[in-house]
Amino acid sequence: MSEFRPHSLPAQGQMDVTRQSARNRVMRNTYWLLALSLIPTVLGALVGLKTGINQIMSASPGMSAIIFLAGAFGLMLMVERNKNNTSGVAFLLAFTFFMGIMLSRMLGFVLGMGNGTQLIMLAFGGTAAVFGTMASIASTTKRDFSHLQKFLITGVILLIVASLANIFLQLPALMLTVSVMAIGIFSALLLIDLQRVVNGGETNYISATLAVYLDVYNIFVNLLMLLGIFGGRD
């Protein structure tokens, strides 16, 4: 048996190098596509603000919620169905453009405040800080956080239900609770999604970008909401 060992060791080493190269490629492409996805998000937000779509959504929150859920889940389904070809990138960018339009409602609300621009920049900086922290932890820690994912997904479902209910209940305390919980839950999901990319658990950069984008988007929206409530000035 010993005569096979000199050949098996280099082969094993070559496999390790190949796996590491694949992980690095997925991670690099994920970060690049995530950065690219911010462009249609900003464009979508500008379209929403310039055309007055944000005001229409504010006047009809129930219908806005239906459009948001239908549009978001429909586009996410198309992204996943086409994640193995270039159409997946196109659907992902279309999804981020749509999410930018949906974001315009919150941006319009905050921009109506005297320090709205500063609050948006602060929310962006806070989101970047959370991303940097989670990316650093995902790249350095040996602890596996994936066992928390099912619990966190359950939390996301409860957040969606609570948010829909609050459209009719209009309870400020519930809104604050949902925002605080959302920041915590999506920060933890961001860590898990980034760690999956770093460790090679996610081999498709389009799916990885979609997951990370959703985490970052929700952290930003809920952080901006809290800043608008507590830090806004007329």
Both structure tokens of 77: 């389904």
CA atoms within a 13 Å half-sphere pointing along the CA-CB vector of 1: 0
The answer on pLDDT for 1 being more than 50 is no
* Mean pLDDT taken over the chain: 89
Both structure tokens of 153: 């997904």
Domain boundaries, the chain: 2-231
Q: 108, 85, 115, 79: which is closest to 209 by C-alpha? A: 79
Confidence tier at 147 by pLDDT (50, 70, 90): confident
How far apart are the C-alpha atoms of 23 and 227, rounded to whole Å?
37
Q: Under a CB-based contact definition with an 8 Å cutoff, are residues 107 and 101 in contact?
A: no
Cα torsion through 63, 66, 72, 76, rounded to 10: -160
Q: What percent of the chain has pLDDT over 70?
A: 91
How far apart are the C-alpha atoms of 205 and 198, rounded to whole Å?
11
pLDDT, tens digit, 9 for 90 and up, residues 46-86:
999 999 998 888 888 888 889 999 999 999 999 999 999 98
Can you give the pLDDT at residue 30?
94
Q: Where are the alpha helices (DSSP H) in the chain?
A: 5-51, 53-59, 61-81, 87-111, 116-140, 149-169, 172-198, 205-231
